[in-house]
Amino acid sequence: MKIEGIQKCNSPFGECEHEYVWMYQISQSTNGRLDVEMLDKPLASVIEEQEDRYKMRVICPKCNQYNTFEYIKN
Ligand SMILES: [Zn+2]
């Protein structure tokens, strides 16, 4: 299963504000390889999981800085 979202760059370094689509694969494949179709979007990773939300991190494709944000589970 994978989820997608839109993030506006919130890097503390500079004023990038680039808006982009990220994605996250909840269950990684057993061989550790990612689907080819996923490679066109930045991959987010979960820093912390709470009952109703994920705290996530993704690298902005424009400025290459980490963005952290919360994703509310459906
Ligand atoms: Zn950025």
Ion ligand 1 nearby residues (CB, 5 A): 9, 11, 16, 18, 60, 62-63
Domain limits at 58? 2-72
Counting every residue, how long is the chain? 74
Q: Which residues contact 46 (CB under 8 A, 6 or more apart)?
A: 24, 54, 55, 56, 57
Question: What's the structural domain count of the chain?
Answer: 1
- Indicate the burial class of 54 (C-beta count within 10 angstroms; 0-12, 13-18, 19 or more): buried
Q: Find the 71 Cα to ligand 1 centroid distance in Å.
A: 18
Terminal C-alpha separation, the chain: 13
Q: Is 60 exceeded by the pLDDT of residue 8?
A: yes
**Position of tokens 């890097």?**
11
- pLDDT value at residue 46: 94
Q: Kindly report the pTM of this predicted structure.
A: 0.78
- Residue-wise pLDDT tens digits, 20-48: 999 998 765 566 565 555 568 999 999 99
